[in-house]
Amino acid sequence: MTQASWWKQPLRIIQPNMQVKDTAAIDPERLARQLKEMRANTVVFNVGGIYAWYKSEVPYHHVNEFLPENGDLLGEMIEAFHKEGLRFVARYDFSKADDYVYQNRPQWFVRDVEGEPEIIGAKRPGNWSLLMSTCINTGYRNEELAVPVLEESLRKYDIDGVFFNNPGTIPCQCGSCRDKYKELFGVPMPEHRSEYDRSWGSLCMRHNIELLNATIKSVREDTPVLGYYNLFNERLADRKAGTDLLCTEPQNVLSQGVRAIPEFWKPALSVKLGRSRAAAAAPLGILHSCPGMDWRHTGLPPAEYAFWLAQIPAYGGQIWHSLTGVPDTIRDKRIIRIVTEHNRKEEMLAEEMSGAESLAGVALLWRAGKSTEGWADGLVNRQIPFDILPEEAADSDALGRYRTVIVPEHYPAGAEEIARWKAYVKQGGNLIVEGSLATDERKALAELLGIESRSTVGESLVASYLRFEGAGNPLQSGMEDTEIIPHRGRVVYCKPLDGTRVLATLVPSFSPLESTGAPPERASLPVEHTDIPLALLSEAGQGRVLYAPFSLSALIDEFKLGEHYQLLNNIVETMTGEARLLRTSPIIGLQATLYRNGEGLLLHLVNGTGRRPLANAVPLHGIEVRLNAALLPNAASVSGLLENGELPFEYKDGELTFTVTRLDVWDAIKLR
């Protein structure tokens, strides 16, 4: 394998985050053997920045004072890794520096509006110097320190790849930032972070990473740069610039308590977003083994850890384990077992996932925000295969690849977007549009949505309901025994055009919130039926549009009621119909992803059911799976590669059907 192509192959990365005081515990040859036994094929290890793990000669590059006086520990480690067939990715962190650097070069550091520097760990116990945040627009992170450090280390060591930790923009009011802001935007830098131009942070990071990448390529032309992107930062193009291989960090932070527990789909969506922009290789998912940095010396509960890890490969990503220490210094040895077992499974599936193409009939237009997350939550929990389309990727060709496209509330609807959506529907696409839009957007979209041009957004409602209208209503499927389901929030009051079918209407609030519980004798509905629509279905050209003039995504995000998940499922079912690719037993917490694998199919099932954080895996039994028969008309076998083995199957009513006997954590079902 050539230097230029090694990182385009399936990767299983382990990053031992070494504490400098444990430097003496590193035995390079032993460490290399241990990581290979844990099924890693790539190692990320500290090289420079806050600490130099070699005897750097660059002024103000703080050398790890715990390095052995004799020999070259970093060189010995790289040699040992390469001897075991492990690639070496150098980790640099230029976001902070020792306080003695500040004393000598104060112009390199972040300043607040009062001109004070940002100090990290001022109250930390122990005999430690202070760390101080460096500014991304000054010499430390650019030509004066970072560039010469890269040049020095890349020339001295056989480094296979480069990763920059914490490369983002730290809010700063120093002179360099003020000057650059004025140059970029033509106005003085605001004092408050909330008033910055939205592109400021991403542009600064882009300029810095492009400079560092160019430096790396000038020394070692084929050395890839591994760069961050963030699920909640939609400026992915800026994040991707200067980066060869994307990586994301969906931490499972449990130390903030169950009320702040991360959504169970966080790794899934993070990888999906990266796949939408990945080119040469699938994105990397960096998962920390700990339940929070304040508890970094212990491990996640094993069941929770295994579930979190499984989402990375199931959604088409590559794993990157971040551990506190090397195997000999890790205090929670359960981590080693979980990592080894997960890597073994990834190794088994590497060939199957190589070149696998996502199969999804639904696209979710992505813009960071609660409305988009609510839709993603519902799609994941109802096992509906979908792709994410960021704003810069949602062109006409991209839309045309999907049977159904979802436009979540607050998604920008300018003239170009509206023109694309109209053309998409005219050519046979199905569009789902949700929630309130700006006045001009509603007018421009009115005909497409099947409503009159005049509409208005009402007050936020409580104690209100959605009523299903008409016999055989497709949105009522699975809820035939109830005529109403809970509603809350704002409604766009609109009127349907002739030919538009109203599938649901509003039952207005029967009471203010403070009096809904007492007395029950006065709890009757003053108005049981209105003609105010909550779901409208219209046709345009060869396609259809379903408009929900309220926020279903907000209901799912806040309440997670089964009725709202069922309504979302029914909306997608109504729009996709016989073209829907996958149906499974509707189990909240079950995740499903579908891929074309050569001439066959590969279905990943991940079990996240149970109360989180998961103390134990809660096995699922008898999961019914139905695949559109057109995907694989003549299957010869169906088998679970990780947990189930051979599974009986049959073709029935245009679907390939089978039952997964048991799912503990994760299985990959191969159909050929």
- The whole-chain average pLDDT of the chain stands at 94
The CATH T-level fold of domain 6-354 is: TIM Barrel (3.20.20)
For residues 608 and 592, give the distance between their C-alpha atoms in angstroms, rounded to a whole number: 11
For residues 98 and 130, give the distance between their C-alpha atoms in angstroms, rounded to a whole number: 6
Architecture of domain 360-580: 3-Layer(aba) Sandwich (3.40)
Cβ pair 309, 343 in contact under 8 A: no
**Three-state DSSP state, 275:** helix
Sequence letter at residue 663: L
Cβ pair 362, 384 in contact under 8 A: yes
For residues 562 and 478, give the distance between their C-alpha atoms in angstroms, rounded to a whole number: 11
Cβ pair 422, 454 in contact under 8 A: no
Sequence length of the chain is 672
The total of other beta-carbon atoms located within 10 Å of residue 258's CB is 9
For residues 441 and 438, give the distance between their C-alpha atoms in angstroms, rounded to a whole number: 5
| pTM exceeds 0.75 | yes
R_g of the chain computed on alpha carbons = 27
For residues 154 and 134, give the distance between their C-alpha atoms in angstroms, rounded to a whole number: 23
For residues 421 and 390, give the distance between their C-alpha atoms in angstroms, rounded to a whole number: 15
Residues of the chain with pLDDT under 70: 1-4, 233-240, 278-279, 438-439
For residues 531 and 550, give the distance between their C-alpha atoms in angstroms, rounded to a whole number: 15
**Three-state DSSP state, 186:** coil
Of 310, 327, 329, the residue nearest 319 (C-alpha): 310
Q: What are the φ/ψ torsions at residue 404 (nearest 5 degrees)? A: -135, 140
The CATH T-level fold of domain 583-671 is: Immunoglobulin-like (2.60.40)
**Three-state DSSP state, 350:** helix
For residues 61 and 245, give the distance between their C-alpha atoms in angstroms, rounded to a whole number: 27
DSSP E strand stretches across 330-483: 357-358, 362-366, 386-390, 404-407, 430-434, 456-457, 461-468
For residues 304 and 206, give the distance between their C-alpha atoms in angstroms, rounded to a whole number: 35
Residue 87 tokens read as 């690639």
Provide the pLDDT for residue 22: 93
ω into 619 cis (within 30 of 0): no
Residue 311 tokens read as 């989402």
CA neighbours closer than 13 Å in the CB half-sphere of residue 591: 27
Cβ pair 16, 64 in contact under 8 A: no
- What residue segments make up the domains of the chain, in order of their start? 6-354, 360-580, 583-671
Q: How far apart are the first and last CA of the chain?
A: 30
Provide the pLDDT for residue 3: 59
Task: Give the pairing of strands 318-324 and 284-288.
Answer: parallel
What are the angstrom distances between the C-alpha of 599 and each of 352, 402, 493, 636? Answer: 11, 20, 49, 12
Q: DSSP labels for 361-398?
A: SEEEEE-SSHHHHHHHHHHHHTT--EEEEEGGG--HHH
**Three-state DSSP state, 437:** coil
Sequence letter at residue 619: P
